[in-house]
Amino acid sequence: MMLSSSTMSASPTKLSLDSLLAQIGIFLKACPKVTLEWSLTVRAGTMSDCDRMTCWVEKSKEAGSQEPLGSFASVAQLLKAIAAPPSVQTIQATQSSISVRQGISVALLEHGIEWRLYLHTREPNATDRYQSWRWRSVASGSDPSSNPDQTGVQADHYGFYFLSATPTGETPIDLVHPLFVDAVQQLVQHERLRSMSGFWLRHRGDQVLQVDLIYPWYPRLAEFDSTLRSLVTTLGGSADWITTYADYPIRHIAFNGKDREPGFTLYFSAPMTIGWPSTLPTLKESVRVQSQKIQQHMEQTLFSRLPIRTTRSKQTTDTRPSVGDFYNTQRLDLWRQVLGNKMHYHFGIFEDCQQLPDKEDAIDAAFDRAISELYPFIPEGGRVYDIGCGWGGPLLQLQAELGCRVEGITISQTQAHYCEAKGLKVRHDTVEETLPPGYFDCMMMIESLCHIQDKLRLLKILRLFGKRLVIRAHCQDRHPASRNFGGTMLMNSSSQLRYLVEQAGWRIVHWQNRRLESMPSALVWQRRLQSIPLSNDQHLETLRDFCNRVVTHWDEWGESNPLIEIVAES
C-alpha cells in the first residue's frame, strides 16, 4: 500500500501527527512487540510536545515463516509506502537479518516532515550497534534549494557508556552545552543512575550531537522538578508544562552537545498493550499508564528487595587495600608473558595434575578447559555477565564458542581498557557499588568472590538479576580467615562459602573441589616468571611470591586451600 504523494507533500498546518500515526499503524499495528515513544523538546524560549513520535518493533517471526523478519518486513513496507530514499530502504533490507530492533520516527518541521530509521543490530559474536538515518519530505510550496540538506540522508551512530566516563575519559559534563553543565552535574550524582545505568552519545562523524542520560526505572518527571525549572529559566521559557507532565515517568533526558544550539529533550516510552492509538494524546496516555506499571513493578520486585548496605567504619574503609590499584598495570607486555596471548587470569584445569605439559598449546588448552568445562551450565547463545572479568579471556571464549552475549565488570581500569579494545562490553567499576545491567541467563564469578567484602549482600543482589550463578572460589580451610594476595583477598572457608550461598537464597545444584586439577597453574606461572626480572609492579611480584610459596609447600597448600566450583540456581 502506498501513501499518497499528496498526503506526504501537504504542509504541516494541514498535516497532523495523528494522521501520520494512523498511516504508520496500517503497517506496524499487527507487529507482536511494539514500543511507543514521544518526546518533549525545550529550546530557547520554546517547548514542543506534539510534533514527534517513534514506533519501535522487535524481531519476530510471522506465522509459517522460517526467518525471524516478520516485523521488519512491515518496516520495509512502511519505508516503501512513504517513499524513503532508496539508500535507506537498502540499508534496512540488508541489515534486517542481524537486527534486534528497528524504529521509525516522524516529526513535523517548519518546512516538511522529517523521518528517521533506527537500527539496533547484533552480528554473531559481536557487540551491538545502534545507528540512525534521517531524511526529509519537502512540503509543498517550499524551495528545496533554500536548504540543500533538506532532502539528503544524514547518518548518526550511537554509543552507550556506563557512568562515569567513556573509555577515553570523557564525561557527560565534558560534552554537553555549557549552559547545561550544572544541571547535568546534579543529575549524574543520582545513586540509581550511577549504580545501574549510564549515557548514550549520538555522533555524526566525530561530532557529539547529543548526550542522553538513561533512566531504566522510569522515575516521574516530578523528581526532576527543580533541575528542569532551572534549565527552563536558563533557556528563557515557560515551565508550566512541568506541572502538566509531573506524573509522567521519564525514560531518557537528552542534552544537546556543546557545539550545538542549547536545548534538551525528554523521552517517554512504553510497550504497546491495548491496541494502536488513534491520536497522539491517546499515545501519550497509553505510554503514561504502561510506564507507571513498569515503574511500580520495578519498585516492588527490585528496589524494595535490595539488601541494605552494611555500614563500614571510616578506618576500615581507609585502610583496606585498593583492589583497583593493585590490578592496574602499565606493563601489559609482562603480563602477556605470564598469562599467554589469551590472557586467561585464572587457574587452568589440567588433565594430568602430576606432570606439567611441555608444549605451550597444551598449557593454553588447560586454561581454556577451565571455562569449557563450565559449558554444561551456560546456555548456548545466552546472556552472560562475568563479575571480575579480568582481561576478558572467559568472555571472548564464551562469545566465540557458545555464541553468548557477554558483558563484564572489572575494578581495574587497565583491564577494562584492554577488554574494550577487544570489542567487549565491560564496565570499569566495583561490583559492590553497582547493579548488574539487566537480567542474565548466567552470571559468573571466576576466582573473584574472594575480593568482595560484603559477600552475602552481593549474593543476595545477584539473585534479582539472573537465574543461575557459576562460581569458582578460592577458600582457606585449615587456617583462620585472613587477607591474602597483597591484602586484596578476603578469604573464607569452604563451609562458610556454602553457608553464604545458601543464606542468600541460592539453591546449590553442583559442588566440586577443583584444586587438584588446577595446581599445575602455579608451576606454569612460576616458570614463565623466571624469565622476567624483578619489577616495581606490586601485583606481578605478589604473584611471583605466591607461586614460589605454593610450589614450596605443594601438598599442604593444596589441601588447605580448595578451589570450590559451584553452580547455583535461584
186-231: pLDDT as tens digits: 999 999 999 999 999 999 998 999 999 999 999 999 999 999 999 9
In terms of pLDDT, which residue wins out, 165 or 314? 165
Same-domain pairing of 293 and 368 = no
Q: Is the pLDDT of residue 12 over 60?
A: no
Same-domain pairing of 337 and 264 = no
Same-domain pairing of 215 and 340 = no
Confidence grade of residue 150 (pLDDT, cut at 50, 70, 90) = very low
CA distance 207 to 121: 22
H helix intervals, 9-108: 17-28, 70-81, 86-95
- Give the total number of structural domains in the chain: 2
pLDDT (average), residues 419-432:
92
Q: Is the pLDDT of residue 353 over 90?
A: no
Same-domain pairing of 225 and 361 = no
507-513: strand order across its sheet? 425-428, 405-410, 383-387, 442-446, 468-474, 563-569, 507-513
Same-domain pairing of 127 and 244 = yes
Confidence grade of residue 13 (pLDDT, cut at 50, 70, 90) = very low
Q: Is the pLDDT of residue 144 over 70?
A: no
Q: Is the pLDDT of residue 177 over 90?
A: yes
Q: Is residue 423 part of a domain?
A: no
pLDDT (average), residues 234-254:
95
Same-domain pairing of 355 and 262 = no
CA distance 177 to 368: 48
Give tens-digit pLDDT for 264-306.
999 999 999 989 999 999 999 999 999 999 999 999 999 999 9
For residue 559, give its domain range.
329-391+441-569
**What percent of the chain shows pLDDT beyond 90?**
76
pTM of the model: 0.87
Average model confidence (pLDDT) across the chain: 89
User: Helices 280-301 and 17-28 sit at what angle, rounded to 10 degrees?
Assistant: 60
Confidence grade of residue 537 (pLDDT, cut at 50, 70, 90) = confident
Q: Is the pLDDT of residue 409 over 70?
A: yes
CATH number at residue 344: 3.40.50.150
CA distance 193 to 160: 14
Q: Is residue 382 part of a domain?
A: yes
Same-domain pairing of 300 and 360 = no
Same-domain pairing of 251 and 361 = no
Q: Which three cell numbers stand for residue 30?
A: 499487527
Q: Is the pLDDT of residue 6 over 50?
A: no
Same-domain pairing of 214 and 339 = no
